[in-house]
Copies of this chain bind each other. A is one copy, B any other.
Amino acid sequence: MTELEQRCVDAGLKMTGQRRVILEVLGSAKDHPSVEDVYERAKKLDKSISIATVYRTLGLLDELDLVTRHEFQEGYSRYELNQDHHHHLVDLETGKVIEFQNEELELLKIKIAEELGYELVDHRLELYGKKLKKK
């Protein structure tokens, strides 16, 4: 049983074949797949899986905080396993998503929330840019 599967079981979920497949898809994704993407990849491992199950499972995983649901102004959601904390820069010309971390930013966010009288629970930062031309 993988660590991911274990965490689901610990949370009281039954470990079904479909869930194993979806976790496998998420675990091996190097990108930020949409529900449709997860569904397509899952079907390669289990032809009979339904998109309703994919939606339900991703919703559960989000509640358990095992994944993050992103909404990059596209009109649908994309999911990502929660591993290291990072943010995204979206290339406006290609749609490519680049991940980055920045310690200074983390501290600044906490400070800003504090100054407003808030405890920071969550946050989103997304940058949208165009590739700089080399001279």
Q: In the complex this chain forms, how many copies of it are found? A: 2
Could you say which interface size class chain A belongs to?
20 to 34
Q: Is A27 an interface residue (CB 8 A)?
A: no
- A100-B112, A105-B108, A108-B108 known; A128 and B121 CB under 8 Å? yes
Main secondary structure of the interface of A (DSSP, over half): strand
Cβ A121 vs Cβ B130 within 8 A: yes
Query: 7 pairs across A/B with beta carbons < 8 Å?
Result: A100-B116, A113-B129, A118-B131, A121-B130, A122-B129, A123-B127, A123-B128
Please provide the 9 A-B residue pairs with the shortest distance between their CB atoms, ordered closest to farther.
Answer: A118-B129, A122-B128, A123-B127, A124-B126, A125-B125, A113-B129, A119-B130, A120-B129, A121-B129
